[in-house]
Amino acid sequence: MSAAIDAFNRWKRCKEAQRPQNALTARYEVQGFIASGTYGKVFKAVSRDKNDKRAFGIKQFIPEGEARSERTQGISQSACREIALCRELRHEHVVALIDILLTPESRMIYMVFEFAEYDLLQMVHFHWHTERRPIPEYTIKTLLSQLLSGLSYLHANWILHRDLKPANILVTADGVVKIGDLGLARLYQKPLQPLFSGDKVVVTIWYRAPELLLGARHYTKAIDLWAVGCIFAELLILKPLFKGTEVKMESKKVVPFQEDQLTKICEVLGYPTASRWPEMDQLPEAATFATRFPPSRFPAQSNLRAMWHESTRHHTGTMPLLAGLLHYNPLQRLSVQAALDHPYF
């Protein structure tokens, strides 16, 4: 039996040697599929260099136009932007780009990243479905402080992430947090074009700040802090805090009004009055909001503390930090440094 297996393995190695290798398979052995999205797919791989014992996450981009069954040449704007940014970034809590590969025969681009075994969404699901108990307080604190540390680095380098959510916050087996997926990230100091003109819609709906939902064309790093607040809440209660139903775009030029998402926010945080957010009336969707959202429909004050008092009774300082991150007014929302300096930690 062993002789037959040895013969089969020799035949397999011979066939593999005859197979034409591209730049990817020549350097990495793909071990399995991790995830997919509009950008393409992510795989786990190891180096063919026997001296390199690391695992890697390889992001494969769909060529521009491929998703629409077009045979157009080119690299997507998202891929170009992510490659350009990731090549310059080096921080313990931002996922590191190791390599960039192009396979001309298949017109594929691959970004090779350091590997992280988990993400925050998996951790939330594990504690909700398997453990059936809250994530320990010390675990939430260390996860959140590392996330804020990575975000502080991005903001210090004039980068907005614009898509922070649990699935994009990676965690290694050693418990190190890595901010990932910078496909929507943008430089916000002297950008080549206005932020709104490049991407009409940013941030996944459940983590999207109210100023974005009300059509803000000019926004700040406060949108990332709102998303951090939503992630913080999800770690505490093991489910999304503002789980609205998204209205999909039917036209690239018209961004739909997200009434259900705003409803979910107002039900928790109360009605956004002029005293709480004076600049709100200047936003493009302010008139639509005023028409569809009479103050009588919603509580006048925030229900954050009342919503899950039992769930957070052991988390000293939780509510002030959460309320600061989820402030309606982006000008009064906590900055990343203020959050890091908060007594909660």
List the domains of the chain with CATH numbers: 20-114 (3.30.200.20), 118-340 (1.10.510.10)
Q: Quick check: is 52 catalytic?
A: no
CA distances from 199 to 106, 162, 164, 227 (A): 28, 10, 16, 18
Question: Which pLDDT does position 233 carry in this prediction?
Answer: 96
Q: What are the CA-CA distances from residue 318 to residues 25, 304, 323 (Å)? A: 48, 11, 9
Q: What is the pLDDT of residue 305?
A: 79
Of these residues, 163, 199, 260, 341, which one is catalytic?
163
- Look up tokens 């990332």; give the residue: 224
User: Maximum CA pair distance of the chain?
Assistant: 82
DSSP state letter for 128: I
Q: Tokens 């790093």, residue?
A: 221
Cα separation of 91 and 157, whole Å?
11
What's the confidence (pLDDT) of residue 50? 87
pLDDT score of 71: 47
Contact indicator for 179, 169 with CB cutoff of 8 Å: yes
CB 163 within 8 A of CB 203: yes
**Structure confidence at residue 17 (pLDDT):** 43
First to last CA, the chain: 61
pLDDT per residue rounded down to tens, the chain (345 residues): 566 666 656 655 554 443 435 778 888 999 988 888 777 889 999 999 888 889 999 998 876 555 444 445 567 777 888 899 999 999 999 999 999 988 777 778 899 999 999 999 999 999 998 888 899 999 999 999 999 999 999 999 999 999 999 999 999 999 999 999 998 999 887 655 566 666 778 999 999 999 999 999 889 999 999 999 999 999 999 999 999 999 988 777 788 999 999 999 999 999 999 999 999 999 999 999 999 999 999 998 888 877 665 555 556 789 999 999 999 999 999 999 999 999 999
Q: Find tokens 């705003």 and name the residue.
A: 262
What is the predicted pLDDT for the residue at 74? 64
Q: Is the pTM value of this prediction over 0.85?
A: yes
Structure tokens at 297: 């429909």
**Taking the mean position of all CA atoms in its chain, how far away is CA 131?**
24
Nearest to 156 by CA among 211, 93, 210: 93
Q: How many CB atoms lie within 10 A of CB 182?
A: 25
E strands, 180-249, are 186-187
Distance, CA of 276 to CA of 273 (rounded, Å) = 5
